[in-house]
C-alpha cells in the first residue's frame, strides 16, 4: 500500500533557444506562484530539481523548456 504524497509544485520554464538556464530566483518564484495557485502554503525547504533543456517549438518560435519541481 502506498502512502499519500504531499502536494508539490511543478513548473515549466521556457526561454529562447540557446539562452541561459533560468536562474535560481526565477525558478523559486515560479514554484511559489504555483503553490499559491494550488492553495498550498509556503514551501518549507524550498528545494527543487531541474530537468532540461528540452528543445521545443511553439508557433514557429524555437525554445528551450525546463521543468522544475519541489522535492
Model pLDDT, residue 6: 74
Neighbouring C-alpha atoms within 13 Å toward the C-beta of 47: 2
Q: What is the pTM of this model?
A: 0.85
What cell numbers appear for 11 in the block?
513548473
Q: What are phi and psi of 32, to 5 degrees?
A: -65, -40
Model pLDDT, residue 41: 85
Predicted confidence pLDDT, tens digits, the chain (71 residues) = 555 677 789 999 999 999 999 999 999 999 999 999 999 988 765 799 999 999 999 999 999 999 999 98
51: CB partners within 8 A, 6+ apart: 66, 67, 68
Model pLDDT, residue 42: 80
C-alpha 54/C-alpha 48 separation (Å) is 18
Model pLDDT, residue 44: 65
Amino acid at each position: 500500500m502506498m502512502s499519500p504524497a504531499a502536494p508539490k509544485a511543478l513548473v515549466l520554464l521556457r526561454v529562447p533557444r540557446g539562452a541561459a538556464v533560468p536562474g535560481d530566483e526565477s525558478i523559486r518564484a515560479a514554484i511559489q506562484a504555483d503553490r499559491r495557485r494550488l492553495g498550498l502554503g509556503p514551501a518549507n525547504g524550498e528545494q527543487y530539481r531541474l530537468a532540461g533543456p528540452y528543445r521545443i517549438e511553439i508557433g514557429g518560435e524555437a525554445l528551450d523548456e525546463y521543468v522544475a519541481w519541489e522535492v
